[in-house]
Amino acid sequence: MSKVLYSSISQKFIMALAGLFLITFLPVHLGINLLLLNSDPEPFNRAAKFMSDFPVIKIMEIVLFAAIMIHIIYGILLQIQNWIARPVRYKKSNRSETAPFSRFMIWTGGIIFIFLIIHFFNFYFIKLGLVEGDPYNFYDVAWQLFTNPLINIIYWVSFILLGFHLYHAFHSAFQTIGLNHRIWTPLIKGVAFIYAVIIPAGFSLIPLYIWIVSS
Amino acid sequence: MKITLDIWRQKSRNEKGRFVRYELEEVSPEMSFLEMLDLLNTNLIKRGEDPVAFDHDCREGICGTCGMYVNGHPHGPVKSITTCHLSMREFKDGDTITVEPFRARSFPVIKDLVIDRMSLEHIQVAGGFISVKTGSAPEANTIPVPKKNADEAFDAASCIGCGACVAACKNASAMLFLSAKVSQMALLPHGKPEAKQRAREMVAAMDDMGFGRCSNTGACEAKCPKNIKITNIARLNREYYKAY
Amino acid sequence: MTKLNSKIPEGPLTEKWSRYRRDVRLVNAANKKKLDIIVVGTGLAGAGASSALGELGYNVKNFCFQDSPRRAHSVAAQGGINAAKNYMNDGDSIYRLFLDMIKGGDYRAREANVYRAAEVSNAVIDHYTAQGVPFARDYGGTLDNRSFGGVQVSRTFYARGQTGQQCLLGAYSALNRQIKAGKVKMFPRREMLELVIVDGKARGIITRNLETGELERHSAHAVVLATGGYGTIYYLSTLAVNSNASAAWIAHKKGALFANPSFVQIHPTSVPQLNEYQAKLTLMSESLRNDGRIWVPAKKGDERLPGDIPDEERDYFLERRYPAFGNLVPRDVASRAAKERCDAGYGVGKTGLAVYLDFRDAINKQGKKAIEDKYGNLFEMYQVISGFNPYETPMMIYPAGHYTMGGLWVDYELMTTIPGLYAIGEANFSDHGANRLGACSLMQAAGDGYFILPNTISNYLADDIKRGKIATDTPEFDEAERSVKERIERLLAIEGTQTVTSFHKRLGRLMWDLCGMSRNEEDLKKALSLVREMEEEFWKDVTVPGSADQFNQELEKAGRVADFFELARLMIEDAMHRNESCGAHFREEKQTAEGEAMRDDKNFAYVAAWEYAGKGVPEKLHKEMLSFEEVEVKERSYK
């Protein structure tokens, strides 16, 4: 049984499941964020409070962090194995046949991780009391933050890279869990594309809107 | 036509290799790529130099012996062929062609462009068979196989074990190779009784051999000379999950 | 001379094999563990034998020069594998298959062996199917068959155009199972360079590790050669570039008789030579002749494009000469007819050494899709090689050296004249007479390996159960290794000016021209002296770079070509002595007014088995007279 946990396919399976869980989390996060577009801070703050107080969500938060950690650790682990697997590189290598975004998963993933830390400093750590700010009024925190063009650029770039990451991740995860079908796979790829465009676009919209409105 | 070759030369497993540049004047577009290398070797031998070692045998694209990385592609830039079927028609007068061995930790270089693919053998030995004693097989038509399954099994079975999938993969993963073997037998009723054990042991053997991990990049499928599909990899994954 | 005892069992033909098995001595399971067997070669015959012998409990050591046993040249067989299943209900039977083979072989094969090959053919299909070989199937899920040249029934099992590769992968998988079980030890990248004989029995081999150059000693109680044919003697052939005759030739020089060396099948449908650097000719499966029509322009030197030549100005020469079989005549007949047209000046293509194989009518009748389903991969391959699209313009084909019916002489038990040395598959001479029918080689190789040898070898090994391991530190092994070393050193020391390949090319060309598809006494005499001269030149002026203790492909080739020179002389000798036309052996002196072969049963109804008599001494001829008890010997007619 120990063999199964260390096998390449199992590692990928676990990573894919964690990734798919993260994929389901993003629309929820986006849904709440869209309330920021409302000029009334109340609905957003209420939703934010609900997210931090409701017991089931609290458990889900732990699961979410676990998923992030598993996804990252396994991702790095697999990547290291892959680097080791080809000690001498090619002199001339044509990668045009390699699915475009699959080539940079470790890098897009790494940048997303850095973004995540910045994002935590901006919001999550306020809730934990590690950073100064009003944990009950994230609406104002956000509106204040996104008047800063530098922050906006960091967010936008990160969202674009997130889109790249998501596109490959979405359909690749299905392949890894063994779902590849003559009809469904092209459909999954289509959905992956739409998802990879809409989610980052939605997230980007908010800082952009705030920035435009406040300037 | 005139061709410049940038070829990986390495004396033996333990020695360091390097690229050496050769000029070849009298190349004809009707030659195959390997015949062009034959010509180079004839010239080298006549000059008293060591000819370039490369593996080849049937020269009709079926034995899987040949294989080198030509201008950034396993088996060269043309799709669905092996190196022996690559024609010099594909190149222009004055071209420089970079020729490297398939590179992977699991494919150590023996000499120049010759690699050791025993790692693929170990995967096969681990479970790439149906246990049937000679003479104990039932009459061939006793077990009907739907034509669709038989055809799909054939598609998977057409793998020639050249290693181009490993060479093409940015991770040097052998999943396409393994999946073709597992798929062939998973699709046939004859292979079902041992399906679980086969998936477990072949995957374990692959992991032991130091191949990289598949990240579904699709490069293997694009460069497979026999057009093996990555749907086989999904099937292998399923077979593996079913095995536990 | 009692050397040729073919050991054919008594009794009626149909019962010989069962009687043999009833009476054969066995080795019990506990004793099998004490017995070692060396198998050289991993094709259908070699891998089959290794796995079957491993299953039985013997300790098998299996050798191949390739980097993997799955690359043996059986892999390249395209069309199919025959069996007498009669799935098509078209009147087939074991007896009919036997009859077709005897007739196809032009009455120069041993009845008992051929009948047995037909008898075990069905078990071969069962076994491959159970191993997971994906043979073509019908919509109902049962196995499909197609027809093949030289016969009137459909008995050929196939896996698209890759039957050889699929069967070989089946054999390879069974071999892997035994490797895993520890019963077979696999030695890839090893070339057999000497046979070791102890007290008159084959007891081991000397191999060269092709990666390190190291010479290795391997001992066993019996040695099995499954090393294929010697068609690469022509340099350009449909065989793999590295296929060679050396193992068989080494055995011959150690005392194994070599039978019918001049019987070489020239396959009619290969892609013609395109350039002078070409190293190999690619076969286009014979199955193409099921739908393709072969023709040349009726007018000499007609330079119009094939599509512009109207039907009445085309000469469908096979249909014209052989109305009953048309394009499906056996290979030797089809090859010769093509050569006849080209020699007469009607050939097409740049060199004039090609004929058309045209699918226009088949595509019009059955539709492009149907033709694509049947031959798609072959058409693609043709286009890759030639650059022409066969859906639009006829293929150009020309005969090429393909299969050697000749080989080591073996008795009914598949043992050569050296006790304990067996030869199976294409390496022996036994089942195809003077011409092999399509799809019979896979059948014979697999039958030999799986079902015949494992049953006969115990008869010999039964005497050896108390012998214990064969030591390799004996004077016999010392001597064998010394002679290998000496030969390698000699080759390296020549340091001449010409490459090994240039000699091989010249020898091949010479053999093709003078001892190829048709032969005459004058040419053969000329060939003999030319080969002698060239051989002398080789030993004076060849250059082999590098050293013996490294991966050295030129050295490998040099040894093989040196052996080809010797074999070439024997081939010519054999072709010269056989003053008749039979099967693939066509003597121009012996033909009818219409150019058909004239067999001479009164003087030549025998197997010519040659005994090596020493360097420079003419080989001694032994005759195994062929008596046909079951079949009536007739003129072979496909008209």
Q: How far is A125 from chain B (nearest CA, A)?
A: 34
The answer to whether residues C605 and C629 touch, using CB atoms and an 8 Å cutoff, is no
For chain B, the farthest-separated pair of C-alpha atoms sits apart, in whole angstroms, at 63
Decide if B103 touches A, using CB distance below 8 A.
yes
pLDDT for the residue C397 = 95
Nearest-10 Cα torsion for C11, C12, C14, C20: 10
ipTM score of complex? 0.97
Q: Answer yes or no: CATH 1.10.1060.10 is held by domain B118-242.
A: yes
Distance of CA C66 to the CA centre of its chain: 18
User: pLDDT digit string (tens) for C407-463?
Assistant: 999 999 999 999 999 999 999 999 999 999 999 999 999 999 999 999 999 999 999
Residue of A97, A168, A175 with shortest CB distance to B168: A97
Q: Residue B189: count other Cβ atoms within 10 Å of its Cβ.
A: 13
For residue range C498-553, list pLDDT tens digits in order.
999 999 999 999 999 999 999 999 999 999 999 999 999 999 999 999 999 999 99
Chains that touch B (3 or more CB pairs under 8 A): A, C
| Contact assessment for residue C354 and residue C388, using Cβ atoms and an 8 Å cutoff | no
Please state the rounded mean pLDDT for residues A108-124: 95
Question: What is the architecture, at CATH level 2, of domain B3-111?
Answer: Roll (3.10)
C contact test, residue of B63, B118, B177, B227 with most C CBs within 10 A? B63
In whole angstroms, give the CA distance from residue B184 to residue B168: 22
Q: DSSP class of residue B58?
A: S
Phi and psi of B105, rounded to 5°?
-60, -30
Q: What is the pLDDT of residues B19-53, one digit of tens each?
A: 999 999 999 998 999 999 999 999 999 999 999 99
Q: Are B57 and C73 in contact (CB < 8 Å)?
A: yes
Q: Which residues contact B228 (CB under 8 A, 6 or more apart)?
A: B155, B156, B158, B159, B165, B176, B179, B180, B220, B221
Task: Choose the closest CB to B71 out of A9, A88, A92.
Answer: A92
Tokens of B104: 């992977």
CB contact under 8 A, B215 and A85: no
For residue B236, the model assigns a pLDDT of 98
DSSP at C357? E
Find chains touching chain A: ≥3 CB pairs under 8 Å: B
Per-residue confidence (pLDDT) for residue C637, from 0 to 100: 79
Q: Which of A125-129, C14-18, C215-219 has the lowest mean pLDDT?
A: A125-129
B244 touches chain A (CB under 8 A): yes
Nearest to B240 among A9, A95, A182 (CB): A9
Q: What is the CATH number of domain C476-600?
A: 1.20.58.100
Distance in angstroms (rounded) separating the CA atoms of residues C570 and C620? 10
How much of chain A, in percent, has pLDDT values that exceed 90? 80
- Residue from C331, C560, C569, C587 carrying the catalytic annotation: C331
Q: DSSP readout, C300-337?
A: TT--S-GGGS-GGGEE-HHHHH-TTTGGGS-HHHHHHH
Q: Of C555, C536, C552, whose CA–CA distance to C493 is shortest?
A: C555
Residue of A9, A89, A99 with shortest CB distance to B218: A99
pLDDT at residue A2 in the model: 61
* Residues B53, C551: C-beta atoms closer than 8 Å: yes
Bridge partners of C249, per DSSP, are none
What is the band of B217 on the pLDDT scale with cuts at 50, 70, 90?
very high
DSSP readout, A119-174?
Answer: HIIIIIHHHHTSS-S-TT-HHHHHHHHTT-HHHHHHHHHHHHHHHHHHHHHHHHHH
CA B31 to chain centre: 22
What is the set of domains in chain A, with CATH numbers? 2-81+104-214 (1.20.1300.10)
Q: What percent of chain C has pLDDT over 70?
A: 100
| Nearest residue in chain C measured CA to CA from B56 | C241
DSSP string, chain A: -HHHHHSHHHHHHHHHHHHHHHHHHHHHHHHHHGGGGSS-HHHHHHHHHHHHH-HHHHHHHHHHHHHHHHHHHHHHHHHHHHHHT-SSPPSS---TTS-GGGGGHHHHHHHHHHHHHHHIIIIIHHHHTSS-S-TT-HHHHHHHHTT-HHHHHHHHHHHHHHHHHHHHHHHHHHHHTT---TTHHHHHHHHHHHHHHHHHHHHHHHHHHHHHHH-
User: How far is the C-alpha of A43 from the C-alpha of B151, rounded, in Å?
Assistant: 59
Tens of pLDDT along C195-254? Answer: 999 999 999 999 999 999 999 999 999 999 999 999 999 999 999 999 999 999 999 999
Cβ within 8 Å, pair C451-B134: yes
Parse chain C into domains and list their residue ranges: 268-402, 476-600
- Name the residue with tokens 């693919």: B117
Which pLDDT tens digit goes with each residue over B169-202? 999 999 999 999 999 999 999 999 999 999 999 9
CA nearest to A179 within chain B: B234
Greatest CA separation for chain C: 75
Please give the residue of chain B at the shortest CA–CA distance from C43.
B63
All structural domains of chain B with their residue ranges: 3-111, 118-242
At C174, which helix (H) or strand (E)?
helix C163-181
Contact A99 B206 (CB under 8 A): no
SS3 state of residue C471: coil
Nearest by CB to B216, from A7, A85, A176: name it.
A176
Residue C553: list chain B partners with CB under 8 A: 51, 53
Separation CA C490–CA B145 (nearest Å):
58
Instruction: Please judge whether A82 and B230 are an interchain contact, meaning their C-beta atoms are less than 8 angstroms apart.
Output: no
Q: Among all residues of chain A, which has the CA nearest to that of B237?
A: A178
* Structure tokens given for B103: 């590179």
Q: Do B60 and C137 touch (CB under 8 A)?
A: no
Beta bridge partners of C293: C358
Chain B partners within 8 Å of C164 (Cβ) = 62
The whole-number average pLDDT for the span C118-133 is 98
CA distance C78 to C238: 11
Contact yes or no for B45 and C188 at CB 8 A: no
Contacting subunits of C (3+ beta carbon pairs below 8 A) = B
CA distances from B206 to A6, A175, A202, B242 (A): 13, 19, 42, 18
Question: What's the pLDDT score for residue C160?
Answer: 86
**Which of chain B's residues have a Cβ under 8 Å away from the Cβ of A4?**
200, 244
Query: Hey, what amino acid is at A188?
Result: I
Q: Does residue A70 carry a pLDDT above 90? A: yes
CA C128 centroid distance within chain = 21
- H helices of C412-552, in order, are 441-446, 453-461, 475-494, 500-514, 521-541
CB contact under 8 A, B237 and A172: no
Is residue C360 flagged as an active site residue?
Answer: no
Contact C474, C198 (CB under 8 A): yes
User: What 8-state DSSP symbol labels residue B137?
Assistant: P
Residue of chain C minimizing CA distance to B124: C176
Taking only the tens place, the pLDDT of each residue in C551-567 is: 999 999 999 999 999 99
Assign B155 to helix, strand or coil.
Answer: helix
The residue in chain B having the minimum alpha-carbon distance to the alpha carbon of residue C278 is B35
- Contact of chains A and C by CB distance (3 or more pairs under 8 angstroms): no
Mutation site for B-interface testing, chosen from C158, C176, C209, C560 by largest number of B Cβ within 10 Å:
C176
Report CB contact under 8 Å: B39, C165: no
Give Cα A146 to chain centroid, integer Å: 20
Name the closest residue on chain B to residue C552, using Cα atoms: B53
Q: Strands C222-225 and C498-499, how do they pair?
A: unpaired
Residue C278 CB neighbour total at 10 angstroms? 20
> Residue C8's pLDDT is what?
96
Residues of B with CB below 8 A from C183's CB? Answer: none
pLDDT at A4: 76
What would the pLDDT profile of B43-101 be if each residue is shown by its tens digit?
A: 999 999 999 999 999 999 999 999 999 999 999 999 999 999 999 999 999 999 999 99
Using an 8 Å CB-CB cutoff, list chain B residues near A91. 6, 8, 19, 98, 100
3-state secondary structure of C595: coil
CB contact under 8 A, B203 and A7: yes
Residue A1 has pLDDT above 60, yes or no: no
Q: Based on the number of CB atoms within 10 Å of its own CB, is B91 exposed (0-12), middle (13-18) or buried (19 or more)?
A: buried
Residues C132, C139: Cα–Cα separation, whole Å: 18
| A to B CB pairs, distance under 8 Å | 126
pLDDT, chain C, mean: 95
Residue at token pair 């598809």: C517
Contact A99 B219 (CB under 8 A): yes
The predicted structure's pLDDT at residue C1: 46
Alpha-carbon distance of B109 to C239, in angstroms, equals 27
Q: Rounded CA gap, C408 and A165, in Å?
A: 64
Average pLDDT for residues A101-112, to the nearest whole number?
A: 94
Residue C494's SS3 state is helix
Whether residue A102 and residue B216 make contact (CB cut-off 8 A), yes or no, is: yes
Q: Is the pTM of the predicted complex or chain greater than 0.90?
A: yes
Taking an 8 Å cut-off on Cβ atoms, the answer to whether A82 and B171 are in contact is: yes
Residue C199: other Cβ atoms inside 10 A: 7
Q: Supply C604's token pair.
A: 């030549």
Per-residue pLDDT tens for C354-402?
999 999 999 999 999 999 988 888 898 899 888 899 999 999 999 999 9
Neighbours of C230 (CB within 10 A): 30
Predicted local confidence at residue C496, as pLDDT: 97
> A–B contact (≥3 CB pairs within 8 Å)?
yes
User: Which candidate, C504, C282, C392, places its Cα nearest to that of B87?
Assistant: C282
Q: Answer whether residue C2 shows pLDDT above 70.
A: no
All residues of chain B having their beta carbon less than 8 Å from the beta carbon of residue C273 are none
Top-tier CATH class for C268-402: alpha beta
